[in-house]
Amino acid sequence: MKILVTGASGQLGSEIKELSVNYTDDTFIFVDRGEMALDDLTQVLSVIENANPDLIISGGAYTAVDKAESEVELVDIINHQAVATMAEWAKQNNRKLIHISTDYVFQGTSSTPLKETEPTNPINIYGLTKQKGEDAIISSDADAIIIRTAWVYSSYGANFVKTMIRLMTDREEISVIGDQIGSPTYAHDLAQVILKIVHSDRWVKGIYHFSNEGEISWYDFAVAIRELKNLDCNIKPITSAEYPTAAKRPSYSLLDKTKIKQTFGVAVPEWKQSLSNMLEKI
């Protein structure tokens, strides 16, 4: 199988690349903005046509959530129009697509884990463009799987876990938001799930949710990082209102993973075990 992976140097792309060595029967083509700039739709189509993959894993995206509020056109090209281009090519050429989306497509006002059928209603530009990307895939009728995920971190790239370790090492006290609820996703776990689905005998197109098991706040996440790293830093929980950002964040975005578990027999690791695994790796 020939697999084209976008966002090759991102957290997820790097984890897929690390795992790809286990799939010797496959040919992986990893592209990043140097080889396939997602804001150049002509290049996107040209690279896909030249690669002619059996499957596209669409992991690349514009993810600077606050900056997105002031770069609306650019974000739309990358998160919506480039995805539409991939979906249309997949449909026309009878190929498969796995696209990574986000909990940010939701309003964030629920109090129960979000199922795939929950109405979307993004509260920021990033979420809106990701929703439009999803809509483009669905309207194309491509043979596609959309996986929504949340709070992604990895041993690769910049992320919340690494930032917390740096801040807690440098400072005696930090403040972390305690009123946004969800569950983190270790990108290594997500990469394993994607490759399991790719090589499964079962392929059921549609939308799925994946994050690690558990329900925590960013504050809880920071406390666990401190414990596992044996750091000596006071962590103060604050409200979202006390830490204003350019883009609003969902206050509740815990994803219900029942569908992906039942459809593909996926085992979802508990968040703290995955955090421990990542910290051991770095």
Q: Which residues are catalytic?
A: 126
Task: Copy the structure tokens of residue 272.
Answer: 């703290």
Q: CA dihedral in degrees (34, 39, 40, 41; nearest 10)?
A: 130
Distance CA(216)–CA(151), nearest Å, equals 11
Backbone angles phi, psi at 130, to 5 degrees: -70, -40
Distance CA(151)–CA(176), nearest Å, equals 14
> β-pairing, 181-182 with 55-58?
unpaired
Measured between alpha carbons, how far apart are the two ends of the chain, in Å? 32
Closest residue by Cα to residue 185 from 31, 47, 15, 43? 15
